[in-house]
Structures are given as structure tokens and as C-alpha cells.
Chains A and B, each alone.
Chain A
Amino acid sequence: MATDTVKLPERPHEHAMDAVGTEPVRPVMSFYVYEWPVRIWHWLTALLVVALSLTGYFIASPPASVAGDTSALFTFGQIREWHFIAAWLLTIGVVFRAYWAVVGGEHARLIYYVPFWSKQWWSDVFLVVKWYLFLNKGEKWVGHNPLARASMFGMFTLGSLAMVVTGFGLYAEQAGVDSWLRGAFGWTLSLFGSSMALRTWHHAGMYLLLAFSAIHLYAAVRDDIMGRVSTVSSMISGWRTFRDFHDE
């Protein structure tokens, strides 16, 4: 069934924790979730979002004026240039990540669509919502839980795509009316009505991504503690570990 896009891993990997042997063997249930390209992409994207937000904020609200010889200065231009470089890198990441969704593991596809047509999915979302409202003990999810998946899809996957597209719409403005960039992204100007409106929404998009990042960070840390499941370290090692599962 289409809804079962992510299946249980075939063989739970058992960490042998008995290296030294003084303690009883306490195997922990772990799954390989994040392949290395995804992990690199994740941290790079995190870095770029911070860089883009900072430079983007300053593009909208420039720092104090600099005195001195105008022709020797490129302060504001520099901020913009960093923004553009970071934006290109982010774009490469977005494209690569989409490519990886196709060729990578099953977990890599999770954040590219949401099976909102599936009853099962909705009931799972309901379970998660209840968990966040402290109404149940929670379930364990190998990949993202369904609510996280929806917010990743809606706020991050679509959000970053919108930022790339609107960003290139703005970038294309300086490339000129007959440039290929304008040809590819000029429609954003018509879509939003004006360059000013496009800027406004690109700027608002930054806050959407930052809000997502904050919630993402909070949920990850909380899951780590409350759900007794590795989150932050998973994105470093690739392994998701459920600390409560071990053979007695």
C-alpha cells in the first residue's frame, strides 16, 4: 500500500554494548536512518540558513553607514554577495537533496510528500498530537513522526523551495530582462504583482524557516529526552537509537 512508504528496517542492528564486559549486555535497538549525504546536507543547510538569515536581515535593515572613500568601500555589496553565494550553495543542496530522495534510502523520501489521503496517517498524526499534549505515552518512530514529517514537508521542503524560487526571482532582477534567469524566474514578479511584494514575501519566508528551525530544534531535543530516542546524535552518526529497547 502506498501509505506504507517506510517499512521497518529488515534487521534491527544490535549494538554490542558489552565491549568491556563488566556490565550485562544491554543491546539497544538501532536503525540506520540518515545516510551520510543526508547528514552532510543537513548540517550544511543549517549553516546556510543561519548565514542567509543574517545577511538577509541586514539586506533589509542595513547596518550603520560607513564613512570613507566610496569607491574603496564595498560593505553592503559584500553582505549581498555573501547572501548570493550562500543562496547558490543552498540551491545546490536543495537540488541534491531532491535527487537523493530519488536514489537514496526510503527515509530520504519521507519529507517530500505527505500521505494526507491515508486514514492511517491521520490517525497516527492524531496519536502524535496527543503525545505532544501529554495525553498518551507516545509511539516510537524510526524516521520522522508523521506530524514532524508534515511540518518538514510544509515548512521546510516547500518553504526552502519557495525561498529559492523567490530568491532567484529577485536575483534575476539584476540579471536583466532578457537574461535566462529572468526567463526562468521572472514569473515570480507577475505572481506577486511587484518586485516589492516579492521582497516582502521572501523576507517573511525567512521568518517561516527560522520558526521552523526553532521548533525543529526544540522537538529534536525534547524527543531525545522525553522519547528516549536519539535525535541530534542520529544526524551525526546516521543511527537512530531507541534507548528503552533492550533485552532484559
Chain B
Amino acid sequence: MARVETFYEVLRRHGVSRRSFVQFCSLTAASLGLKPAFAEELAQAMQVKPRIPVLWLHGLECTCCSESFIRSAHPLAKDVVLSLISLDYDDTIMAAAGEQAEQCLEDVRREYKGKYLLCVEGNAPLADDGVYCITGGRPFVEQLKDYAADAMAVVSWGSCASWGCVQAAKPNPTHAVPVHEIVRDKPVIKVPGCPPIAEVMTGVISYILTFDRLPELDRQGRPKMFYGQRIHDKCYRRGHFDAGQFVEAWDDDGARQGWCLYKLGCRGPTTYNACSTVRWNDGVSFPIQSGHGCIGCSEKDFWDNGPFYERLANVNLFGAEANADGWAKGAAAVVGAGMAVHAGISAVVRLRDKERHDTHLPPKGGTP
């Protein structure tokens, strides 16, 4: 096995000066929300760290995670792929195909047993022994199990791998399940979103390499640093929310003034993600800034918490569907009618009984 280059060596080899290297480290530290002192630690770490082999598998997905990944501005996707990690398998960009591609998987597993990072985009359908996603001639679920077994840790890219996403929306015809329901004996870092923000993806990867540990996760297994707050908590339109200034209809005056999209179903208040702070595509915008409410794409089961343009999610009961207010109207009608009928009968019974008023039973002392 060839000696593994450190990140610093790679950068130097790429013609990056010591000075720019230190600058890069400060920027990365800043983008991770870390104190300036960490920049030094980062610089130190990168000079001695080898490039970590990464296998990036694809299950049932739409490749939006890969597409997002290559949008990363800091660090550039190019630098991550060529300098930070050794992306030894990723069927979306790798040169080799067929047997030669499969060989890469095998080789890395053998050479770097327990030392490689397994990134998973998409998820595995379990119905009918996994025939809904076959790769290399066998069900994807088998590939996932195989390569997770020898991995150091697993990164679940996007909502597919983290929660199931669109193919797992009701009725989930292929029985697609998220990665952590298949890989149970390895640390799994969920990086949800459809897709996740590019700089969040590269931020998670560089955190692991820089600090030599997995990021701190919340109860749901997401890195706290990016998923610890709701979009709403840092939304620039929050002032309009508190004021009670809402967009009432598309392209109304409120919309043109950038009022709060709450009434049009914005899921910002229920969505944990960094969109309102990191923003998208090098900070250009994020959904709310461009006039559409958040649809909650980094949340579990967000597809089944629609309709997206309603504040209240539909709930399916007894084969019918309505939101809580709808069900309440129905229930109120039933309960109200029931009470009215019961009251009517009660009145009749009471009038009838009034004459023969003969109750002399002793009270039961609340004996149950």
C-alpha cells in the first residue's frame, strides 16, 4: 500500500502556499462556526492527516445529493474530491464502470478495512428481496450491508438515506428504509435535506477529517452544528412573523415586501436545517428568500405532513383524509348532534317521569 499523503502535502503539491493554506484553514474554521483558535488546530491537523478513503454508494435516489455536493463553494468540491478525501468509489463520477468499478469497492474494503468512510446516497428497498434496486447484478441492500460492515462510520446523505424521503412516502410501495434501519452496528451520521446544503455536506466531511472525530449529534443523529436550530429561529423574515405580517396570497403586496410565508404553509418553524444561516449555493438565497415557503425537506416524513400550502398537516383516519380542523368540524357535528338528540330525549323522559317522582334510592358513595 502506497504511503498515504496528508492533506497538507496534497495542497502543497497542488501549488498551494503555506500562507494560503493557513488562510484556507481560517476560512474553514469560520465556516464551521468555530473560534479562530481552531484555525491553528485545523492547520495542524491537516498537515498530518492522511486522505481518507471514501466509498459513496447510491441506492434509490435522484442524485440531488451528489449534485448538491459538487456545488460546494468552501471548500470547493474539486478540493474535497482530489485533496481532502480519496473518493475511491462513486458511480456518479468515477471513470471505471462494470467490473472495474466493482473492483474498486473490493480493493478499498480489503486495503482499508475499518478505516474508510461509507457515504450513502439514497436508500434500500426491502420489498420482494430488494429487486427494486439492483446494482452490479445484486440487490442494493446487500451491497450496503457488505460495505457498511467494514466501514469506520457511515454518512447518510440526504433525506433518502436519513429518513426514507419520497420513495418512502405513503404507501412506500418498495418498502424503502433509511440506512440506520439496516446498519445498526456502526455510527451513522444523518445529513438530511432534499438535498442537504452543499457546504453542510463538505462541512461534515471536513469536520471529521480535521478534528479526527465524528461531529456531535442530536437525538435524531444529525450534527448539532447544522441541524440544531430551526430555519424559523434564524429566518430573516422572523420579524414579520412576530409582527403578524403574512403573505396572504401569492404575489400580493406582502409577498413583494418579503413578509412571512407562514400562512402559505411555510415549514420553517418545524424544520431543522441551516438554510436561513448558511443559505444555498454559496449563500445566494434560500427558499423563503425567493418567495416560497420551506417544505421541510430535511424533516422525517415531510412528504406525509402535507399539503405543503396548508398550515395543518392532513391526517388519514378511517380511510378519509382531512387536517385536524377538518376532523374537528366533523367531530363537533357528531358530538353536537349526539348531545342535542340526547338532550331532547332526556327532556321527554323527564317530563314523563315527573309525575311518578319516586326515587328513594340511597346514593352510592362513588363506589367504583
Checking B245, B248, B270, B363 against A73 with a beta-carbon cut-off of 8 angstroms, the contacting residue is: B245
Q: Which of B219, B327, B332 has the most CB of A within 10 A?
A: B219
> A75 vs B242: C-alpha distance in the bound complex, in angstroms?
7
Which of A18-26, A42-50, A142-150 is found at the contact surface with chain B? Answer: A142-150
> A135 vs B46: C-alpha distance in the bound complex, in angstroms?
83
In the complex the two chains form, is A195's CB within 8 Å of B363's CB?
A: no
Checking A7, A140, A189 against B219 with a beta-carbon cut-off of 8 angstroms, the contacting residue is: A189
B-chain residues with CB within 8 Å of residue A35 when the two chains form the complex: none
> A173 vs B177: C-alpha distance in the bound complex, in angstroms?
27
Does residue B229 face the partner (Cβ distance < 8 Å to A)? yes
> A144 vs B286: C-alpha distance in the bound complex, in angstroms?
56
Q: Which of A74, A120, A200, A215 has the most CB of B within 10 A?
A: A200
Does residue B359 face the partner (Cβ distance < 8 Å to A)? yes
In the complex the two chains form, is B366's CB within 8 Å of A195's CB?
A: no
Range class of the A interface residue count:
35 or more
Kindly supply a per-residue 1/0 record for chain B positions 240-283, scoring 1 wherever the CB is within 8 Å of any chain A CB and 0 otherwise.
Answer: 11111110100000100001001100010111100000000000
In the complex the two chains form, is A207's CB within 8 Å of B368's CB?
A: no
> A178 vs B225: C-alpha distance in the bound complex, in angstroms?
11
Which of B15-23, B148-156, B182-190, B307-315 is found at the contact surface with chain A? Answer: B307-315
B-chain residues with CB within 8 Å of residue A71 when the two chains form the complex: 239, 243
Checking B328, B335, B366 against A107 with a beta-carbon cut-off of 8 angstroms, the contacting residue is: B366
> A64 vs B220: C-alpha distance in the bound complex, in angstroms?
36
In the complex the two chains form, is A189's CB within 8 Å of B220's CB?
A: yes
B-chain residues with CB within 8 Å of residue A29 when the two chains form the complex: 363
Does residue B103 face the partner (Cβ distance < 8 Å to A)? no
Does residue B305 face the partner (Cβ distance < 8 Å to A)? yes
B-chain residues with CB within 8 Å of residue A228 when the two chains form the complex: 359
> A203 vs B361: C-alpha distance in the bound complex, in angstroms?
44
In the complex the two chains form, is A140's CB within 8 Å of B305's CB?
A: no
Nearest CB in chain B to that of A144: its residue: B366
In the complex the two chains form, is A140's CB within 8 Å of B220's CB?
A: no
Does residue B129 face the partner (Cβ distance < 8 Å to A)? no
In the complex the two chains form, is B335's CB within 8 Å of A62's CB?
A: no
Kindly supply a per-residue 1/0 record for chain A positions 9-34, scoring 1 wherever the CB is within 8 Å of any chain B CB and 0 otherwise.
Answer: 10000000000000000000101000
Does residue B350 face the partner (Cβ distance < 8 Å to A)? yes
Does residue A84 face the partner (Cβ distance < 8 Å to B)? no
In the complex the two chains form, is B302's CB within 8 Å of A196's CB?
A: yes
In the complex the two chains form, is A200's CB within 8 Å of B312's CB?
A: yes
Does residue B224 face the partner (Cβ distance < 8 Å to A)? yes
B-chain residues with CB within 8 Å of residue A76 when the two chains form the complex: 241-244
> A60 vs B343: C-alpha distance in the bound complex, in angstroms?
33
Nearest chain B CB to A194 CB, angstrom units: 4
In the complex the two chains form, is B346's CB within 8 Å of A203's CB?
A: no
> A38 vs B229: C-alpha distance in the bound complex, in angstroms?
40
In the complex the two chains form, is A139's CB within 8 Å of B343's CB?
A: no
Does residue A92 face the partner (Cβ distance < 8 Å to B)? no
Nearest chain A CB to B183 CB, angstrom units: 19
> A21 vs B158: C-alpha distance in the bound complex, in angstroms?
84
Kindly supply a per-residue 1/0 record for chain A positions 60-81, scoring 1 wherever the CB is within 8 Å of any chain B CB and 0 otherwise.
Answer: 1111111110110111110100
Nearest chain A CB to B243 CB, angstrom units: 4
B-chain residues with CB within 8 Å of residue A210 when the two chains form the complex: 328
Checking A65, A132, A141 against B363 with a beta-carbon cut-off of 8 angstroms, the contacting residue is: A141
In the complex the two chains form, is A142's CB within 8 Å of B300's CB?
A: no
B-chain residues with CB within 8 Å of residue A77 when the two chains form the complex: 241-244
> A226 vs B368: C-alpha distance in the bound complex, in angstroms?
21
> A186 vs B272: C-alpha distance in the bound complex, in angstroms?
13
Does residue B364 face the partner (Cβ distance < 8 Å to A)? yes
In the complex the two chains form, is A196's CB within 8 Å of B270's CB?
A: yes
> A31 vs B339: C-alpha distance in the bound complex, in angstroms?
29
Q: Can you name 10 A-B pairs with beta carbons within 8 Å?
A: A4-B368, A6-B365, A65-B246, A77-B242, A140-B364, A143-B366, A144-B366, A194-B270, A194-B300, A218-B343
Which 6 A-B pairs rank lowest in CB-CB distance, beginning with the nearest? A8-B365, A75-B244, A143-B366, A140-B363, A73-B243, A77-B242
User: Assuming A132-B342, A140-B363, what are 18 further A-B pairs, CB within 8 angstroms?
Assistant: A3-B367, A4-B368, A8-B367, A62-B244, A62-B246, A65-B246, A67-B245, A70-B243, A79-B244, A134-B346, A144-B366, A177-B228, A187-B219, A195-B272, A200-B312, A200-B323, A211-B332, A211-B335
Q: Which residues of B contact A (CB under 8 A)?
A: 218-220, 224, 228-230, 233, 239-246, 248, 254, 259, 262-263, 267, 269-272, 296, 299-302, 305, 311-313, 315, 323-325, 327-328, 331-332, 335-336, 339, 342-343, 345-346, 349-350, 357, 359-368
Q: Which residues of A contact B (CB under 8 A)?
A: 3-9, 29, 31, 60-68, 70-71, 73-77, 79, 107, 110, 115, 118, 120-121, 124, 132, 134, 137, 139-144, 146, 149, 173-174, 176-178, 186-187, 189-190, 193-200, 203-204, 207, 210-211, 214-215, 218, 222, 225-226, 228, 242, 244-245
